[in-house]
Homo-oligomer: A and B are copies of this chain.
């Protein structure tokens, strides 16, 4: 693998930025120079990296010359402004936000699934999928290759960290309230502070609403439908999703029923999933077990007897790693090979 040259991490102070810094060290990526960027609010602080203190530069005012690659995790609004500036200054941008994912000239890439798409980056920008979509892509790509995907029905179990540090802080504060067990008989038994980041109290609860509603579906559900089609290269794939937030810190999970063109064979599927480096087949996939590791955990693999060629499974994956930081760095590694 060749050296990155100059690598920028944009949104370095954020939650995904922190995981990116961690994984860059973990994977010992070689670069000549590393630069950290953040919004004006967070710029000027220092972040430790491999024993060195690096000043965080202001993404608004910094000189962008000489950057070869930029890993962006700074939110869609900021990405729309700054990703083109980095790209125009010569960097290849790998953007973790939703800003460019469905842009026809921006590839949306999971290296284990559609590596070839990365070449068609007319804007100099490659998009990283939504953290929930990501978790499902490797198993669904394998099912499509083996049996041909017709339809996907998904119900998600999404962690608070998918909503950033503020989501984690809100859940943490709620879980510190005393006597949560009083909720067993009375849903109003505990006096929580009014929720801000989520539309209801998340501790001791589940919330079937993530993002904004458009014509019945949420933006999170639309992302799952549209991004799955683009990554899998199946523009007409029939997909239904219900996206639900659960009181988990990290690790998104999805219960999936996949309807296929030919009869699925569980044994063959398990063998192919096991061979795939992005997946690990386990008896009991849970978000807690998936937190801090690279592969997604796939289990409860069984035939769906309610459809002709259906197969069901449950998948859990670390939304901050494979769902965000790791996949972006894997795209970068792929470009360097």
B residues in contact with A22, CB < 8 Å: 185
Which of A1-9, A79-87, A104-112, A286-294 touches B? Answer: A286-294
Of A151, A155, A200, A201, most buried by chain B (CB within 10 Å of CB) is A155
A287: shortest Cβ distance to chain B, in Å? 6
Of A168, A184, A250, A303, most buried by chain B (CB within 10 Å of CB) is A184
The residue that A257 contacts in the complex, of B175, B240, B316, with Cβ under 8 A, is B240
A306: shortest Cβ distance to chain B, in Å? 4
A285 to B255 alpha-carbon distance, docked (Å):
20
Find out whether the CB atom of A200 lies under 8 angstroms from the CB atom of B255: no
Q: Is A48 close to B, CB under 8 A?
A: no
Number of interface residues of A (CB under 8 A): 74
State which residues 170-190 of A face B: CB under 8 Å.
171-172, 175, 180-181, 183-188
Known: A185-B320, A253-B206. A157 touches B240 (CB 8 A): no
A180 to B219 alpha-carbon distance, docked (Å):
29
Residue interface bits A59-83, CB-to-B below 8 A is 1, else 0: 0000000000000000000000000
Find out whether the CB atom of A208 lies under 8 angstroms from the CB atom of B299: yes
A26: shortest Cβ distance to chain B, in Å? 12
Q: Is A302 close to B, CB under 8 A?
A: yes
Q: Is A34 close to B, CB under 8 A?
A: no
Find out whether the CB atom of B238 lies under 8 angstroms from the CB atom of A306: yes
Q: Is A233 close to B, CB under 8 A?
A: no
Chain B residue at minimal CB-CB distance from A173: B181
B residues in contact with A292, CB < 8 Å: 185-188
Chain B residue at minimal CB-CB distance from A284: B209
B residues in contact with A246, CB < 8 Å: 157, 206, 246-247
Which of A38-46, A122-130, A135-143, A307-315 touches B? Answer: A307-315
A201 to B289 alpha-carbon distance, docked (Å):
10
Find out whether the CB atom of B286 lies under 8 angstroms from the CB atom of A216: no
B residues in contact with A18, CB < 8 Å: 185
Find out whether the CB atom of A249 lies under 8 angstroms from the CB atom of B314: no
Find out whether the CB atom of A291 lies under 8 angstroms from the CB atom of B183: yes
B residues in contact with A244, CB < 8 Å: 157, 253, 255, 314
B residues in contact with A200, CB < 8 Å: 284, 286, 288-289
Q: Is A114 close to B, CB under 8 A?
A: no
> Mind listing 22 A-B residue pairs with CB under 8 Å?
A151-B306, A151-B307, A152-B306, A155-B155, A155-B242, A157-B157, A157-B246, A171-B181, A175-B180, A183-B288, A184-B250, A184-B291, A200-B288, A205-B287, A206-B253, A206-B286, A209-B284, A217-B302, A238-B305, A240-B257, A242-B255, A242-B300
Beyond A171-B181, A188-B292, A207-B286, 4 additional contacts (C-beta under 8 Å) are A200-B286, A205-B251, A205-B288, A216-B300
